[in-house]
Each structure stands twice: as C-alpha cells, then as structure tokens.
A and B are shown apart, each in its own frame.
Chain A
Amino acid sequence: MSLHPVIVGGGPAGMAAAIELARHGVRSILLEEASRLGGVVYRGPLRDGVQLDYLGPRYSEILSRLHGEFEEQSGLIDVRLNHRVVGAEGTRALVVLDADEHLHEIAYPQLLLAAGCHERSVPFPGWTLPGVILLGGLQLQIKSGVVKPQGPVVITGTGPLLPLVACQLHASGVTVAGVYEACAFGKIARESLALLNKPQLFLDGLSMLAFMKMHGIPMHYGWGVVEAQGDGELQSVTVAPYSRTWVPDLSRAEQITAQTLAVGYGFIPRTQLSQQMGLNHGFSDDGYLRANANIWQQSNEPHVHLAGDMGGILGGEAAMLAGRIAALSMLLQRDVLDTELALVRRDRFLSKLKAIVRFRAAVDRYTGRGAGQTALPAADTVICRCEHATRADIDRALEQGVQDMASLKMRTRVSMGDCQGRMCVGYCSDRLREATGRQDVGWLRPRFPIDPIPFSAFHNAATEAASHE
C-alpha cells in the first residue's frame, strides 16, 4: 500500500493517533483547520512565551506532554495547518481547502476522522446579544492567552466545565459574579460513587469547589438562566430556581448585572463529514447524532476510523486513548503490527477508556437536560441566526403537522444558512422529539461544502499526486 493514512483533526485524538503511527514507523498526513494543533482542549497559547498558570498545573502538564511527544515524532507526521476538509468523495478521498483557498482531493488507504464537537446552543430571550457567549468559547479565549472576557461574568449551564471555567477565570483576574448549575446538588451527590471512576477528576472537582468558596464565587445548584437583557450589548442576566424538569420559578427570579454571560449546556459531535460519507450513526440520550464505532474505533467501513468527541462526548483524555486504538487498527490493516501485540496494547488503552466512560456516564446522568429548557425562548426569540427563523415560526410548523428535521427546514428555513444548522439543530431536534414522541426525527443532512468556499477555489483544482513511501 503506497498511500499514507490521513487524519482529520489535529486535536488530542488526531495527535495521539499520529504519534502512535509514527512510533511504528508509519508516516501520516494530519489535516487541521486551525493555525495550531491541540484542538480546543490542548491548543495552547496563541502567542509564544505566554504563561497559562491560571489554567492549573495538571492542565499545563498534559498540554506540554502531548505537544512534546508529538514533536519527537514530527519527522514522520506531515502536518497541514489551516486545511479545512469541506467534503468527502465516497470513502476513498477527501476534498480539502488549503490555506491559499485552493481545493484538493486527497485519497487515503486508511482514514481517521477526529473532527471533535461543537457546543450546544440553547436559545432564550436575549441569547443573541453581544456579551452572551458559549462556555467553551469563553474558555478558549482565556486559553489563547491573548483575550479575556469583560467581567463581571455570569456562568450558567450544567456540568463540570462550569466550576472549572469559573476557577480559571478568577485565577486569570476576571470577576465571576456567580455560577448557576441547572441541576440540583442532590442529583450530583447521588453520582459520587460512579464519579470515583476517575478519582483524580473527582478530587479536582472538590478542590475547584473549595477554591470557589475561598474566593467568594457563589455557586448555585438548581438555578438557571431565564433571560439576558441589554441595549445593544449585555447588561444584565435574569436567573431563577429550576424545578426538577427545569421549569424556572419566575416568582423567585433575580436580575444580576453582568458584562458577559457564559452558557454551557454541553456539546454536539461534528458529524458533518461522517454523515456525508454515509457512515452509520445513532442518537445519544442527550438527543444528538453521533457516529458509530466498534472496539477498534472502526466505522462500518473498516478502513475509516473514528476517535474523539464525534463519536460521543467523552473529552480530551478519552480522545487520546481512542486515537491510539484507531492507530493500532490502522497499523494492523497495514500489516505493521502483529495481532497479539496490538491486542495487548489496545486492551491497555481500553481499560483506561472504560473508566472514563463510566465517569462520563455519571456526569451525563446528572447533567441530563430538563424538558423546561425548550420553553425558554419567547415567540419572537430567534432560533436560527442565519435565517432569522423564530420560535413562533417553529411553533407554527409543528402545529401544521411537520414531524421531521428536513420538513422543518423546508417550512421555516432553519439550518439553510451558512452554518448549515450547527447552531439551531439542537433546539429543533429537541422540539421535534417533544412534539412527536419519537427518538428519531432525523438530523440535518450536511451538504458539500461543509463550510462555504469561494468559487475561485475550483480553479486549478488538483488531485494530490499519490505520495509514495
């Protein structure tokens, strides 16, 4: 076999896979859309020499270990930064837009898709005001080392990212006005035992809470966002206690002054490419679509592998393990590794991965979103920002009998804009599942190109000359 394996995504999964391949002498091509490797978790500072002490010593350690190992193997990794994969030609080649905005086809004998995830947008009145930002995006700002949000910051949402970002913000000198975790404390406490599957993470969680207490950052359980207010930009946030199903008790609502509101209700896998390739997918309990992989991280096309969050949200550490397993499978397929050795190595990664899966399942149980969330937007709240479709538009379509995502799209134009529904798909899927009682209401069918590309990119479009070993 003369072609190199291709890896899509230079986050933890893709980097770990490239390292594992290189350790066995196999050269790979690593395509990354950003100007730096590491993905959103481990990208590191945007400028050299910036210290990221406020992110904590453990984070800095993993960050430098991953980049260090990668550096050692870089002679066998063909890294292409600022390269966007915009489409798939079946399951044999990718269509890639390079840094100069030219299109190329890149053929592969084995592929690893590690495209990660994007954040779940949760609409409520005022969510499109400048100053309202998704929690992961805000964390990315402080990780960049060059931008900091304006305080006071209010953090709402659910899950362990909330206190983590609160601590990181405080340590970087930003005022955190309060953290509002939508689920009740008892629900988290019930998962303590399962959370101990990752004892270090559990301890980290406790010490974050202690840190917040010590520095006077209020943490409210069972509270969530109701509305954001401001004239042209965010000025205040209304929060209220949530019932078990996340229905806000407006009689106890409070208005807080804030310049930044960070909203973190979890993540949705980036399945645009795996869908376009026609791979098998399924739905998670959280209602998102994810690509299916087997124990070797293979999709239903055995030469196409999946790792990281696009197969379900498990985070950076799991992504590295899955990336390594995928690399082992590719090494087996290329007859570089013998089966027994591969099995031993895989099982070692797998047992670590399973502990994360158990930990993560506990987090998923307590962060399970309440039905009240979909009632937050007002009739005139914009749901699809590209096409300005409002909640009233969606309500009307549902009343008219629309039952699936594609029909909702046609009726209301949701998802027909430039982002192809990355922002509104979560809400639309929630509403359709609620209205029909069905688990499968379809998902958006991503079209080529996954991101808009200039017509001029087609000039001199070339098929990459097969890179021979």
Chain B
Amino acid sequence: MSKFYDVVIAGGGVIGASCAYQLSKRKDLKVALIDFKRPGNATRASAGGLWAIGESVGLGCGVIFFRMMSANRKREAHGSAVVVDSSTPHILPQSFFDFALQSNAMYPALHKELQDNHGMDFKFEKTGLKFVIYDDEDRLYAEHIVACIPHLADQVRWLDQAALREAEPAVSHEARGALEFLCDHQVSPFRLADAYTEGARQNGVDMYFNTNVTGVLHHGSRVTGVQTAEAGVFHCNTLINAAGAWAADLSEQATGIRIPVSPVKGQILLTERMPKILRGCLTTSDCYVAQKDNGEILIGSTTEDKGFDVTTTYPEIAGLVQGAVRCIPELADVNLKRTWAGLRPGSPDELPILGPMKGVQGYLNACGHFRTGILTSAITGVLLDKLVNDEPLPLDITPFLADRFEVKAAVEVKALELA
C-alpha cells in the first residue's frame, strides 16, 4: 500500500492546511496532507485574533503569558536587584514584527481568493484591537509599548475616556482610555483552517484524515517518507512537520533531534449569542475579549504548563469570568455557553521554528507558532511553498531556523540509519 508524493504534510491544523493550500496552487506537485486530531489541537481551540502588533508587544493572548513570565522572574530574581515587573513591556524582536505584519497584510486578499475560488468564507473582520487602560500601571505599560514601536506610529491611536466610551459603549466606565492597534483584526480560526483545507482539496491535494504518522523513513541523511498506522507507507521528496504541539516527536523521528516545541495550555470561554455589543477586539491586563461574527463573545485565555492536559478547571475559568465582567459589566447577566482548552505549540523564544535543519535533507519544519499560528499561517504557507520549490523568500528565515537553539542530539543520528 505504498504511495508516492512530492510533498507530505504531517499535521492538518491551520499551518499544515495553509502549506497545503499554497503548494496546491502550483498544480504540478503531488501533495498529501495527513492529519489526526488530538484533543487540544490549537487551531480549533484558538480565538482567531489577527493581532499582529498586539501579540508582538505582548498583549492579547500574550498579556497573560507575560504576567506569568514576570511572576516567575520575580520569584527567580528574589533577593537580587533586578526585578522585571509587569510595567515593562514584553516586545518580540523585529524579525517577528516583520513576519507577523507581512502575514497580517495577506488576509484581505486571501479572504477574497478563498471565497471567490473555493466558496469558503473564513469571516475576516476589520476590528482593531484596543488595550483597555484601567490604571496608571496600564497606562505606563501602554506608553512603553508606543515608545518601543516608533516605526508603527501610524498604526496606533490613543483613545481618552470619552473616545473609548464613544467607540465601545459596553466597556466599563472604570476604564480611563485605551491604546488601539488599527491593523489588528480577526477571523474565525476553524473556518480559516477549513478554508485552506477545502481550497487545497479542490486543487488536488490528497487528504488523509484520522491517520496517524507512526514513523519516518530515511535513506542516509535524507527523509524519504512516513509510515502511518491506517494508510500504509507514504514516500515523498519533502516532509513538512506541521504537527503543532506534537511537533517535537515528529522532528525526533525525522532528524534525531527534538526541536524545543512543547504544549502551552490555554483555557477559553464562550458566551451565548449576543447582539453586537463590541465594535472591535479588546485586551486588558486580565484577558482578551472578542465578539465573533455570529454574536458569541470569546474570552481568553490562560497560559499554563500542564503537558498535554486539556481539562478545563474551575479557578482558571472563574478568573477569566471576573476579568471579562470587569471589562464589560453587562456580561454578568449573560450566559456562559462553553469553555475549552487548547495546546499552543510553544517555543522557548516565542518565535516559530521554520525551514530546514542542518544535516538532514527532505525535511522542513513549520511549527512552534505558539500563540500566533492563526495570524502567521498565511506567511508560513507562502514560505514553505517557496522553500519546497527552492525560490527566493519574502523575508529572512534565519531567525526562525531550528539551528538557533543549542540542540542536544538526544538520540544521535543513529535513528537516521533505521531506513
């Protein structure tokens, strides 16, 4: 039952699907997408924020991550003079800004393309993202952010209390104002993944759902295919690792090296459908709040190191509820419809892990997207397509190569000889 493909993509989340879609547009490559949905896959758990600046400066989904980090650092720094506190913004490097902003700019065209050519609407909405300021600490934090991104001055706007009330009447009157990122928008995350998937399928990509990759085939230092539990052997010229929070296992099988991708749990809340009460997405120092196209309000999210556990837990849910009600008081009378948890594919420096690895041929990473996989799926698909086809890249991939980490080759290249 052997199959032959030019490219095999392992992982059908938003990243794998985007790669499949971009590769499928060439129509001259034989591509297979292999997927098995494990509990907690991040695409389906995501909020769908395209918060290019927000996430790059540690807001949105990142704000809670940053609070957790600063709490850890405070503990670690106990007794020393250096204390990192939450008034210091958590700004990602310039390479990530470029990556995120380039990806973000692709969505209007991508939305039209997938809708016109494939009948799939991923509900792209221009919303902006407002960082709601409650107190001096928040304001200081916002000022720091603006100071750090002078080159994006035209994409930020200050709202005083009156302007915020005008723009978002549902937001608590406790709020003193907001800092808005004008280019940060939203999509429906699972519709985006479905749109890429269906576009790819219509363009001829073979889909293997409910199929587990159980091993990787090698010839010398070249990856030559994968073994699956349900659909036999797939031979290929290139294997793309888009396995999300599970990417380390596949990289180990493929290269003998465990790339440092590990699950970072996030819990999310969803309300019942509401009339439109929010014009845009909001982030506070407690949570983010986004009203989706169908009226449901999504509130996220925690940042937890719990391995692959995807249970929802009462204290964390209660914490998000409090943060949301503080921001939008009328939520107190609204019903909580459901909660869930997802596993972000986290990397140590919060940057994705893309492209080839030293000493291995026929293998490309497309993983480690942490909390911005939805946002950066567009550019990731384009990058991987160009890497497969050996064409010039729209941006420098060096900061995202796996080789940036000091990798400890756990199971030396010995595994590679098991062809």
Residues of A within 8 A of B (CB): 87, 89-90, 95, 105, 400-404, 406-407, 410-411, 418, 420, 445, 447-449, 452-456, 458-459, 461
Contacts and interface: CB of A to CB of B under 8 A. Distances in A.
* Residue of A89, A406, A456 with highest tally of chain B CB at under 10 A: A456
B333 interface: yes
B210 interface: yes
* Residue of A89, A406, A448, A461 with highest tally of chain B CB at under 10 A: A448
B210 A403 contact: yes
19 contacts: A105-B314, A400-B198, A401-B207, A402-B209, A404-B209, A406-B37, A410-B44, A418-B272, A418-B337, A420-B338, A448-B312, A448-B317, A449-B336, A449-B337, A454-B333, A455-B332, A455-B335, A458-B321, A461-B318
A411 B337 contact: no
A271 B272 CA distance: 22
Interface in B332-387: 332-340
B333 A401 contact: no
Nearest to B319: A458
B231 interface: no
B313 interface: yes
Contacts of B331: 455
Contacts of A89: 313-314
A453 B335 CA distance: 5
Given A404-B37, A447-B312, A455 B334 contact: yes
Nearest to A441: B210
B190 interface: yes
A95 B190 contact: no
Contacts of B271: 455
Given A407-B37, A418-B272, A452 B318 contact: no
Interface string B173-195: 00000000000000000110110
B321 A455 contact: yes
Nearest to A450: B338
Given A406-B44, A410-B44, A452 B194 contact: no
A406 B43 CA distance: 13
Given A407-B209, A448-B338, A449-B338, A401 B190 contact: no
Contacts of B44: 406, 410
A459 B324 CA distance: 13
* Residue of B198, B201, B314 with highest tally of chain A CB at under 10 A: B314
Contacts of B334: 454-455
Report the 7 A-B pairs with minimum CB-CB distance, sorted nearest first. Answer: A452-B335, A447-B338, A410-B190, A456-B332, A458-B321, A448-B312, A458-B318
A402 B35 CA distance: 12
Contacts of A454: 332-336
A341 to B, nearest CB: 39
B16 to A, nearest CB: 14
Nearest to A93: B314
Contacts, number: 75
A455 B333 contact: yes
A447 B340 contact: yes
A130 to B, nearest CB: 22
A452 B337 contact: yes
Given A448-B339, A455-B325, 9 more contacts: A87-B312, A401-B201, A418-B272, A418-B335, A447-B312, A453-B335, A455-B335, A456-B332, A458-B321
Contacts of A402: 209
Interface of B: 37, 39, 44, 190-191, 193-194, 198, 201, 207, 209-210, 271-272, 311-314, 317-318, 321-322, 324-325, 331-340
Contacts of A410: 44, 190-191, 193-194
A287 to B, nearest CB: 18
Contacts of B201: 400-401
B51 to A, nearest CB: 22
A454 B317 CA distance: 13
B311 A95 contact: no
A455 B323 CA distance: 11
Nearest to B330: A455
A137 to B, nearest CB: 23
Contacts of B39: 445
Nearest to A404: B210
Contact of B272 (A400, A448, A452, A461): A452
Nearest to A386: B273
Contacts of A90: 311
Given A411-B194, A447-B312, A458-B318, A403 B336 contact: no
Nearest to B43: A410
A429 to B, nearest CB: 15
Contacts of A95: 314
A447 B313 CA distance: 11
Nearest to B209: A403
Nearest to A453: B336
Contacts of B314: 87, 89, 95, 105, 461
A402 B324 CA distance: 35
A123 B191 CA distance: 26
Contacts of A455: 271, 321, 324-325, 331-336
Contacts of A105: 314
A395 B56 CA distance: 41
Nearest to A446: B338
A455 B37 CA distance: 31
Contact of B209 (A401, A458, A461): A401
A400 B119 CA distance: 12
A410 B120 CA distance: 13
B44 to A, nearest CB: 6
Nearest to B194: A411
Nearest to B334: A455
Nearest to A452: B335
A51 B159 CA distance: 67
Contacts of B338: 420, 447-449
A400 B205 CA distance: 12
